[in-house]
Amino acid sequence: MENIKLDYSKTLNFIQEKEILAYQDEIKNHIKALYNGTGKGSEFLGWVELPSAISYEEIKDIQSTADNFKKNCEVVVVIGIGGSYLGAKAIIDALSDNFAAAKPTKDPLVIYAGQNISEDYMTELRSLLNTKKWGIVVISKSGTTTEPALAFRILKADLEKKYGKEEAANKIVAITDESKGALRILANQEGYKTFIIPDNVGGRFSVLTPVGLLPIAIAGFNISDFVKGSVDMQDNTHSNISFEKNIAAQYAAVRNVLLNKGKNVEIMANYNPKLHYIAEWWKQLYGESEGKEGKGIFPASVDFTSDLHSMGQYIQEGQRMIFETVVSVVKPNTQVVLEKDDANLDGLNYLSGKRMDEVNKMAELGTILAHVDGGVPNIRIELPKLNEYYLGQLIYFYEIACGISGYILGVNPFDQPGVEAYKKNMFALLEKPGFEEYTKAIKAKL
């Protein structure tokens, strides 16, 4: 098996190799702190050794639960928000046919709810479910998050109306805390099959728990290969791996050197629409982990070449605070060869005999060179193929690099105190019992 690769040579017009290497010893210590639990947020480090800790029995249990859904459902609704849905969505989208929703598939279509509070979204989802055999995977670590709780209340009632309470309970799986939260109480009372999110694994680091693995298995993908990829990346990013071979250490160092030079926005770019949600997952991972205490690199993303016709202008010539990280897939899973056209009215015969991917790769290379010329340093991450194994590597690479990078910044990468502010205001505005004082205060501001 190959490994995913990192190339930061196109940052070296802007920063020096010695500035990157200066982080070597510090990073070794940060990796040790992540493993030994001696750094900030040490109560949330369960994810560090998660890949190598997943047992055969756990995988078997997840797979057999997924097989049950496959037998009985055309559609499975995964209810969750943030870290409780983005990882699964990122991996499933990366591995799925772009048009899966419109094609017959042997595995259930996985769709999502509880990641927004839009009434139209819910209405349209319910009208689809009305015509399908369906089930629910409800995911909430705290078991108290408003968005998924709201969606679950509505969809649980629909499912019970359709199948009766008892049969509906067999079509619901809850993934939550072992003992705390409203969802745990409900799941125990209703007798749902449950999986546990370990206490020491935060939402955005939970893809390698049932939170990610169950939906991925339901969608028909190989979770053993996915876990194997992450185990191999764990082995390759340990503190005993030299800096020259440790791509997570390199990535964390380079982005922090760039930040020190005023490059405080990182744009993840892809040339394959299947990777759109990988960027969404990454933005949550890095945004929520690093954006605190007035610090952090702002994570943004673009889908190329589409966004070269919109955001491309800003990246090329706007404020010079950006660096770009391209995630590139070496080999597409299929081939499209361009044929000769005798009339050649579109002038494209110079491309005949070439694969569409050759054009895409030249667009990628041409863009990287243009952006570097325009003052945008470039990091490139290369996946040999889009499959479960390399995506497993990618996920763990980003997680461990995030832990290292957060420690370089000096923040606690494993909390998210800032996400409470909107909740407090929303509850106050909705006059939730217990929020009376806040309600009075917020109403005075309106």
Out of 82, 108, 377, 413, name the contact with ligand PA5 by CB under 6 A. Answer: 82
Task: Kindly tell me which of 211 and 308 has the beta carbon lying closer to ligand PA5.
Answer: 211
* Angle, helices 56-72/223-236, rounded to nearest 10 degrees: 150
The reply on whether position 288 binds ligand PA5 by CB under 6 A is: yes
Stretch touching ligand PA5 by CB under 6 A, among 46-54, 137-145, 254-262, 355-363 = 137-145
Stretch touching ligand PA5 by CB under 6 A, among 90-98, 100-108, 201-209, 425-433 = 201-209
Token pair, residue 201, equals: 């694994």
Tokens 């990078």 label which residue? 405
Of the residues 5, 161, 423, 424, which is catalytic? 423
Of the residues 309, 420, 437, 445, which is catalytic? 309
Find the binding residues for ligand PA5 in span 317-376 (CB under 6 A). none
Distance CA 101, CA 194 (A): 27
Task: Kindly tell me which of 24 and 146 has the beta carbon lying closer to ligand PA5.
Answer: 146
Whole-number minimum distance, CB 213 to ligand PA5, in Å? 15
Q: Residue 298 forms beta bridges with which residues?
A: 265
Task: Kindly tell me which of 202 and 212 has the beta carbon lying closer to ligand PA5.
Answer: 202
423 is catalytic: yes
The reply on whether position 141 binds ligand PA5 by CB under 6 A is: yes
Q: Is the dihedral of CA 420, 426, 430, 431 positive or negative?
A: positive
The reply on whether position 3 binds ligand PA5 by CB under 6 A is: no
288 is catalytic: yes
Whole-number minimum distance, CB 38 to ligand PA5, in Å? 22
**Beta carbons of 138 and 79 less than 8 angstroms apart:** yes
What does the per-residue mask of binding to ligand PA5 show for 203-222, with x meaning CB under 6 A?
Answer: xx------------------
The reply on whether position 289 binds ligand PA5 by CB under 6 A is: no
Out of 39, 46, 83, 108, name the contact with ligand PA5 by CB under 6 A. Answer: 83
The amino acid that residue 191 corresponds to is G
Token pair, residue 34, equals: 């992540």
Token pair, residue 101, equals: 């929703």
* Angle, helices 223-236/210-218, rounded to nearest 10 degrees: 140
**Beta carbons of 202 and 44 less than 8 angstroms apart:** yes
The reply on whether position 406 binds ligand PA5 by CB under 6 A is: no
Stretch touching ligand PA5 by CB under 6 A, among 139-147, 224-232, 238-246, 401-409 = 139-147
Of the residues 147, 280, 288, 399, which is catalytic? 288
Tally of CB atoms within 10 A around 243 = 16
Q: Is the dihedral of CA 176, 181, 186, 191 positive or negative?
A: positive
Q: Residue 147 is inside which H or E element, if any?
A: helix 146-163
Out of 30, 31, 48, 84, name the contact with ligand PA5 by CB under 6 A. Answer: 84
Distance CA 71, CA 91 (A): 22
Residues annotated catalytic, as ranges: 288, 309, 423
